[in-house]
Amino acid sequence: MKKIAVFVSGNGSNFKCILEHISKSKIKAEVVCVVSNHSRPGAFLIAKKSNIPTHHVNVRQFKNGDEYTQYLLELLEKYNVDLVILAGFMKLIPAPVVRAFKNSIVNIHPALLPNFGGKGYYGMKVHEAVIKSGIKVTGVTVHFVDDRYDTGPIIIQKKVEVFPEDTAEVLAKRVLKLEHKVYPEVIKAICEDQIEVRGRKVVWHK
């Protein structure tokens, strides 16, 4: 059974959804810790209800980036983590952590990458940019994490329509609903070793 660390910055609705799948044994895995760059994100309340240890880890707590990286590596080692799930985590994962967890860190992004991705495109900012652009289709991307924002190998993409009367908030809800369907499916597949990475290409053996 894979041991999962979940990284969050906000509400944690994706985290909650994954946890529900685990508690119903739809995903056979264990969330061993939740990490956030914020001190009291909503996601920590969810974790505490399930007695999952939480850790507030922010680069600003450390003398430099190397110490931050070292701390993250030791934390993940302490919990024997197999898989890191970014669920609304808005910070870059340091390159040595990416190397140590090659193809074992996944992220969900609320648009169809490579559009509306990269530094500065996160959460509601993504949906605001999508609305402003006038595109008719957006969606969800789940990808493995590399050492840049939103550029790692893509595991799955699913689309949703954008309607002329949509606000960023309305669109965000539509996309989030799809995230809650797609992310557990991907995590289940990873936990069942159905996902193979061939360079940039990800193959799903169902």
Q: How far is the CB of 10 from ligand GAR (least distance, A)?
A: 4
Choosing from 109, 127, 143, 180, the catalytic residue is: 109
- Which residues inside 126-155 make contact with ligand GAR, applying CB under 6 A? 126
CA-based nearest residue to 57, from 3, 104, 109, 94: 94
- Lookup: tokens for 54: 């939480």
Q: Which amino acid is at 116?
A: F
Instruction: Quote the distance between the C-alpha of residue 136 and its chain's center.
Output: 25
Of 4, 7, 10, 104, the one binding ligand GAR (CB under 6 A) is 10
Residue number, 110 or 184, with CB nearest to ligand GAR: 110
**Angle 13-23/168-191 helices, nearest 10 degrees?**
40
At 176, the amino acid letter reads: L
In the region spanning residues 91 to 110, those forming contacts with ligand GAR, defined by CB under 6 A, are 108-110
Select the residue interacting with ligand GAR from 122, 138, 139, 154 (CB under 6 A).
122
Contact at 8 Å (CB) between 69 and 94?
Answer: yes
Longest dimension (CA), the chain: 49
Rounded to the nearest whole angstrom, what is the least distance from the CB of residue 188 to ligand GAR in the complex?
17
148: left (phi over 0), alpha (psi -120 to 50) or beta: beta
Least separation in angstroms between residue 175's CB and ligand GAR is: 6
Catalytic residue at 180?
A: no
88 counts as binding ligand GAR under rule CB under 6 A: yes
Q: Which residues are catalytic?
A: 109
List interacting residues with ligand GAR (CB under 6 A): 8, 10-14, 87-88, 108-110, 122-123, 126, 176, 179
